[in-house]
């Protein structure tokens, strides 16, 4: 099994909640090839990604956008610009089928959002959150994702 397949398998083991960097760190940890510094980094990443509860305000609903997936198929995502109490901005993304499971009427600028067990990642576009398979997005009005909860 090549490294990419091994990383994807580890991500699937965690129900899609891990990002690629965290999956790689976990693979290194399980194989005994990890330093104390990397072990601390892994622990911090997993704690941030799982069992989290964070509050934000919606700045803007950027709407649904289209993109091309790695396999060449078309895809869609819904992006919300959000801000936490410290003033740090991030984006909340809903991918493909998740869009249909979200109650978009609740995505009003200025509305408070609570993200529970949502995945967090940092990349070239800044900090991004996604609900993943077990995340919940709430507002003061109730559950916005998945809307059937």
pLDDT tens for each residue of the chain, 149 residues long: 788 899 888 877 776 667 788 888 888 888 888 888 887 877 777 766 666 788 999 999 999 999 998 899 999 999 999 999 999 999 999 999 899 999 888 899 999 999 988 888 888 889 999 997 778 899 888 888 886 54
Dihedral, 54, 56, 62, 65 alpha carbons, nearest 10? 0
Region of 6 (left: φ > 0; alpha: ψ -120 to 50; beta: rest) is alpha
pTM of the complete model beyond 0.95: no
Q: Taking a C-beta distance cutoff of 8 angstroms, is the pair 45, 24 a contact?
A: no
Q: CA-CA distance, 3 to 90, in Å (whole number)? A: 30
d(CA 60, CA 48): 24
């Amino acid at each position: 099994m090549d490294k990419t397949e091994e990383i994807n398998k580890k991500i699937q083991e965690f129900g899609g909640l891990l990002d690629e960097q965290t999956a790689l760190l976990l693979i290194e940890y399980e194989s005994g090839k990890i330093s104390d510094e990397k072990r601390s980094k892994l622990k911090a990443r997993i704690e941030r990604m799982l069992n989290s509860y964070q509050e934000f305000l919606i700045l803007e609903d950027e709407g649904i956008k289209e993109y091309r997936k790695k396999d060449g198929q078309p895809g869609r995502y819904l992006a919300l610009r959000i801000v936490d109490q410290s003033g740090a901005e991030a984006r909340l993304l809903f991918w493909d089928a998740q869009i249909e499971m979200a109650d978009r009427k609740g995505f009003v600028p200025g509305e408070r959002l609570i993200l529970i067990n949502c995945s967090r990642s940092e990349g070239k576009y800044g900090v991004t959150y996604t609900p993943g398979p077990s995340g919940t997005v709430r507002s003061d009005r109730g559950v916005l994702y998945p809307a059937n909860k």
